[in-house]
Amino acid sequence: MGLTFPSPLGLAAGFDKNALRPRALAALGFGHLELGTVTARAQLANPRPNLFRLPADHALINRLGFPNQGAEIVAHRLLERRDRIGVPIGVSIGKTRAVTADVLDAVIADYVMSFDAVRPVADFVVVNVSSPNTVGLRAMQARDHAFALLKALRSRDPSARLLVKIAPDLDEAQLEELLGVVSETEIAGVVATNTTLSRAPLRTPDRRVAAIGAGGLSGPPLRARALSVVRRVRARLGPAPVVIGVGGVERAEHALALIRAGANLVQMYTGLVYEGPGAPGRVARGLLRAVDSARVSSIGELVGADRADSVIDPS
């Protein structure tokens, strides 16, 4: 995307929704931050309880639903701090809950408001159409809806680095259609993946999982599906578009697997919760060792390599 990343590991959206602590988060060792998700209008979280730990699985289930102070306020805060962060900044934008999902023009206008607010302060913008926690949002992944939305955003600023975040729960036909839209609209790339509605396989007892109820699952249970989707995205889109791999990254070998599957960059969220604030630095150092052991000059040379012959120190 014409950006320099000190490390391929970034922080996924959802952790710092209001851009309150980007400088501190960057200082942990992340190579980029994706802030938000923000919406055109400020909104509260879905009713509590809305966030749950599954320690046996190192996983989370959340149904927060894009709580944030609104795109304009977050953009203004980011503008004041932007020069002191030191790593590329992405901002995720989503649909305001109050906007009816079945009125496409209203949904597009809502996204456009957020996009216009954040694009002057963001190095890249991620269009979140895949959260399971906003009613009707995932319908925006359908071909006609996605094409209309991404085309409208591209027309606002053709030079903007625009990516779309996709769900891990799409079937092959749905994924193929959406990736076709990515190619046709010539956006910068894809973030793969969001949280999943699947609940298998889990170590947490079924009764506990059932009691939690609805929400998106993140962490190691998502890892295999994220790898599969990243591999499919890269095969379909070719070498040029950016692919950001997300799902189950806790250690360097997890990040490296996504990179070999075709990801240029990777992100973590749940891994930070369970592995602690030292995790970004440990992952980055592990990736440096992987580059050395593979005898290549940069991590970029491993993108899409998809081979299992390199040894990596998991410490």
Question: Domain residue spans in the chain?
Answer: 9-302
pLDDT of residue 164: 98
Sign of CA dihedral 35, 67, 174, 115: negative
DSSP string, 70-92: -HHHHHHHHHHHGGGT-S-EEEE
Task: Assess whether pLDDT exceeds 90 at residue 310.
Answer: no
Average confidence score pLDDT of the chain: 95
Among left, alpha and beta (phi > 0; psi -120 to 50; other), residue 46 is: beta
pLDDT of residue 309: 39
Tokens of 308: 């299992």
The residue among 12 and 302 whose pLDDT is bigger is: 12
Tokens of 110: 């809502």
Q: Which residues pair with 34 in a beta bridge?
A: 90
Q: Sheet with 216-218: list strands edge to edge.
A: 51-54, 59-62, 216-218
pLDDT of residue 16: 98
Please report which confidence band the pLDDT of residue 122 belongs to, taking 50, 70 and 90 as the band edges. Answer: very high
pLDDT of residue 201: 86
pLDDT of residue 104: 97
Q: How far, in Å, CA of 30 to CA of 2, rounded?
A: 18
pTM of the complete model: 0.95
Q: Which amino acid is at 176?
A: E
Q: How far, in Å, CA of 301 to CA of 239, rounded?
A: 12
Residues with catalytic roles: 131
Q: ∠ CA(272), CA(91), CA(164), 5° rounding? A: 95
Task: Assess whether pLDDT exceeds 50 at residue 249.
Answer: yes
Mean pLDDT on 168-190 = 98
At the top level of CATH, the class of 9-302 is: alpha beta
Helix, strand, coil percent values for the chain (each to nearest 5): 40, 15, 40
The torsion of the CA quartet 100, 105, 108, 112, rounded to 10 degrees, works out to -120
Tokens of 84: 């002191």
Give the DSSP letter of residue 137. G
CB 115 within 8 A of CB 37: no
